[in-house]
Amino acid sequence: MKHKPAVTEILGRRKELERGATVWFTGLSGSGKSTIAERLVNVLREREIKVELLDGDVVRTNLSKGLGFSKEDRDTNIRRIGFVSKLLTRNGVVSVVAAISPYREVREEVRRDIGDFIEVYVHCPLEELVRRDVKGLYAKAIRGEIPNFTGVSDPYEEPLNPEVTVHTDRETVDESLGKVLAAIERRGYAPSAKVPALP
């Protein structure tokens, strides 16, 4: 059975857009990575895109249980997330990662390994992070009570050329999400909301 021209065009367009990719959210604890990442996953699922979320905290509890917070252990954790993300990407899934991933070198290593990669830098000033932190972890780290705390007693190396930078201290979640979606659509990893659904 032959499809009508319009349907054939839509099928071809959707097949072209069904490409795997990794969208990697990096930023300090409390900056809003997981919030935006979860919203992104929901939007992509509504558009019938194959998508999975890899949250840094969840991965640490399961795949990276037993690792500490030395630079070596942090890098190992990021490489493990990167490996899983590469497998998903290779199989046509949009892999959404939300992880502090503080060190630039290992982030770039993962980028090179995956290929189809969008880095999203979730920027938020330290003062705002302290204000948001209801658990008081930043305050404790500043007082020296928590060692190896990224952004206070451990370094965070900002991305040099991220595909997207969002500023969660002055953007709404929807505004930040819109910037990420635009980058994904421009690169052909997901159809825009204007692409018609199949009948």
Rounded to 5°, the CA angle 117-120-126 comes to: 150
- Is 64 annotated as catalytic? no
| Cβ atoms 19, 142 nearer than 8 A | no
Q: In which element (H, E) is residue 185 found?
A: helix 173-186
Q: Residue 169: which region, alpha, beta or left (left: phi > 0; alpha: psi -120 to 50)? A: alpha
End-to-end CA distance of the chain: 16
Which position among 34, 64, 101, 176 bears the catalytic label? Answer: 101
Beta bridge pairs of residue 53: 96
Which of helix, strand or coil describes residue 136? coil
Question: To 10 degrees, what angle do helices 33-46 and 173-186 make?
Answer: 60
**Cα separation, 100 vs 78, whole angstroms:** 9
DSSP sequence for 86-155: HHHHHTT-EEEEE-----HHHHHHHHHHH-SEEEEEEE--HHHHHHH-TT-HHHHHHTTSSSS-BTTTB-
| Catalytic residue annotation | 101
